[in-house]
Structure formats: C-alpha cells, structure tokens
Structure 1
C-alpha cells in the first residue's frame, strides 16, 4: 500500500478533478491520500475535508515543508508525492509497488503535458531518460520511507527547486528509476507566462543553482519573474 501526499495551495479547481482521477486510476493499493494545505484562501480546505478518503492537514506554506509534514504523518512504507495538477497513469499504484518489490527505492513516471506544442512534446520525450537533468516535480516521485528518512527528506530552506534538490540526493544514493508509463501534467504556467518565457525562467533557475545560488536567491528570482 502507498500513501499519496499532495501539497496544495489554492487548488479548488484542480483538486476535485485529481481526486476523481485517482479513484478511477488506482488499482486499489492506496492506503491514504494526505492533502497538506499551505494556507489556501479558496475552497481547497473544504473540498479536501469533505472527501471521505482524504486526510486534510494544515501547514505552513512551502512545498518542501508541506511534503515533509505529509511524510511524517504517512502510515505506509511507500510515499508518493504528487502535485495537484499532475495525473498519474492507470494502475499507477500497482506500478509503483511492483518497482519497490523489485528493489527500486525511488523513481517517477515519464511525463507529458496536457497541451500539444512541439517544444512541450520534446520536453516530455526527454523525461524517458533516467538522468538527473531530465527530472522535475511534475513527474511525481515515489520513495520508500526508509530512504526518505535516510536522506533527511526535503530541504525546507528551498521554496522553489525543492523537488530537484531532493531528487539529486536520491540519484547520488544510486536509487532512482523511471517507470515507462505517462503521467500527464498541466501546462498552466506555460499558458500564463508563455512557453519561451517559462522555459527561460526554468533554465535560469537551473543554472543559478549550478553556479552556487542560495535557496533564497532562487526564490527571489523565481517570484520576481512570476510577478512581472
């Protein structure tokens, strides 16, 4: 059985769709769905609390903090971190359990966007490759609780790039696989900012981190660009 951990902030539109998707896509191996809310001001909390299979948890805002909070509360030995706008494939839970039973301690799915554009399709194609440079949080992440605790979980000093920072440590431990099934994620940020502006922002964040930028510097740059 697996524990699904969803960090959320103002996701009243996405959550009902995602929760319905999880119901019809699961093979029945979900122990719990933990929604960790970072102080939403819309109906996110009501939607989560009203769902019979959801454990709702309020938290400080910040995906790293929210995901660590969910992990501490999880009852199973397999943690599955999922963004509210990413929709895993059919029988995703069985696919994850199969990998863990075969000795894989962490991994993700291949990813495609819900928007048909040649550049986004190309980015999705590269997620087939099992290399750290092809990873991102929208691909979701499963990890055994044992490995999660061994690595210390997400670094809460990061308010952006937290997924990549943690996944990098998983790669360094020698425990990462890519499941050959597709998760579909929203291109809403690309639609809001424009494809090239969004891709440029991601490239800037990546290279700033490679050149030694601090977590605060990454955060300030990201939100300065988003707000502009």
Structure 2
C-alpha cells in the first residue's frame, strides 16, 4: 500500500469520477500507487458504484466537505494526505511532484490553478494562485500535507459548512511551512458559468470579508446558501 492517500469528497459526482479516477491512476507513481478514498455525503446517482468499479475505497460520511474530508483522513493509511475536488485534475505526474517536494523539506502545499473553460478575468484570478499567501488559497487548488500535521491541527473545523478549506489553510500557514508547486491543476469553471463570473467572484469576496470581520460559521453558510450554492457539489 502506498503511503500516499487521496481523499475526494463527493455528492452526485458520478460523471466526473469516470474521468478523474482513471486519470489519477494513469498519472500516479507506478511504483507506489496511491490509496484513493471517496468520502461520499449521500449521493443519489452512481457515484459510489463508479468509484468502486475504478478501484477506489468508498466510505459514507455526514454531508458537508469538512466532515467528509475528516472522515476520509481518519480512514487513510498514507502518511501523506492529498485532498482533491472531484471536478479538478491535478497536473501530470502529480504524485511524484508532491513526494519530491516533501523530500526536499517537510511542507504542506498545493498547485497553481487553471480554470476550464477560462476567460481573461478567470485567467487573471488564476494567476494569483502562484502567490504564497493565505488569501490566494482555495479548495479547488487541492491540498497536500503530512498526516501528522493534519492530526495536530485537529482536521477541518466541522462547524464550517462552507469556508472550511480557507479556515484550515489559515491555520496551516500559522503553524507550518506552505509551498505552492509551479505546475497547474485544471479545475472546472462550472460554477462561474452557472452564476456569472463577476457576480460569483463578488459573493466570494463578501464571504472573505464577512469572515475577516468575525462572522460565525452559520452566518457564512446562510450567505452562501442564498447567493452561491449550486447543486450538486459536496459543500452544501
């Protein structure tokens, strides 16, 4: 068994797993294939069947990315955890890129991001992902870190049904080293297409500002549900 565990929270992501899972195996380290854990929040499509067919371990968890990713991490056997969204494709040879970075020094980290399809605004926004500041982080970029660091920080805060990635990454920056690897991860711009590029980015900015000024997890979730939420992602 590889010491590398990939954790993917899902909610009705069957069609995306049909693309993602073969891609992950094809671009993993052939000498140490990763453990892939699908942490499902109650899918009603064929997500779990597709995942099992492709060789992933499927577990069930309370709906919400924080609880789903925590459940996956608890199940994981690897000393390296890699959290990935179902609509994101890490760069080719992603596993070797991560393990090479960890051999140079112990670190948490992510990849740069590229939206597909993109436009000038999203390209400019994606450019900022190369900057190593907490405000430039987001769950779509994926996240790797030693499992012992994840456990030391207590995992994702399950009070946050949204913003859980940013809240956890903020704690990572305060306590450990963080690295942005130069390769690009491709992620779906589906939510921008559905909600509108400028409108959605405005609402994301409001969520960040509300958190900065002390909004509670419940307040962030209410705003998110009203202005941002689109099924069927595993964060609602």
Q: What TM-score results when the alignment is normalised by the length of structure 1?
A: 0.96
Match of 1:31 in 2: 34
Match of 1:14 in 2: 16
SS of the counterpart of 2:14?
Answer: coil
Match of 2:139 in 1: 137
- Deviation of 1:24 after TM superposition, in Å, equals 2.1
Are the counterparts in 1 of residues 22 and 54 from structure 2 also a CA contact under 8 Å? no
Output one character per residue of 1:118-173: Cα deviation in whole Å (capped at 9) or x when no partner. Answer: 01000111101111111000000001011101111100000100000000000001
SS of the counterpart of 1:159?
Answer: coil
Q: Does 1:121 align with 2:123?
A: yes
Gaps of at least 5 residues in structure 1 are none
- Deviation of 1:51 after TM superposition, in Å, equals 2.0
- Deviation of 1:225 after TM superposition, in Å, equals 1.1
Q: Mapping of 1:72-221 within 5 angstroms?
A: 72-221=74-223
Are the counterparts in 1 of residues 107 and 177 from structure 2 also a CA contact under 8 Å? yes
SS of the counterpart of 2:131?
Answer: coil
CA distance in 1, matches of 2:9, 2:69: 6
Match of 2:234 in 1: none
CA distance in 2, matches of 1:31, 1:11: 20
Superposition CA RMSD, Å: 1.2
Are the counterparts in 1 of residues 118 and 189 from structure 2 also a CA contact under 8 Å? no
CA distance in 2, matches of 1:205, 1:190: 16
Output one character per residue of 1:2-40: Cα deviation in whole Å (capped at 9) or x when no partner. Answer: 100000001012111111211222232433100000001
Gaps of at least 5 residues in structure 2 are 231-236
CA distance in 2, matches of 1:66, 1:199: 25
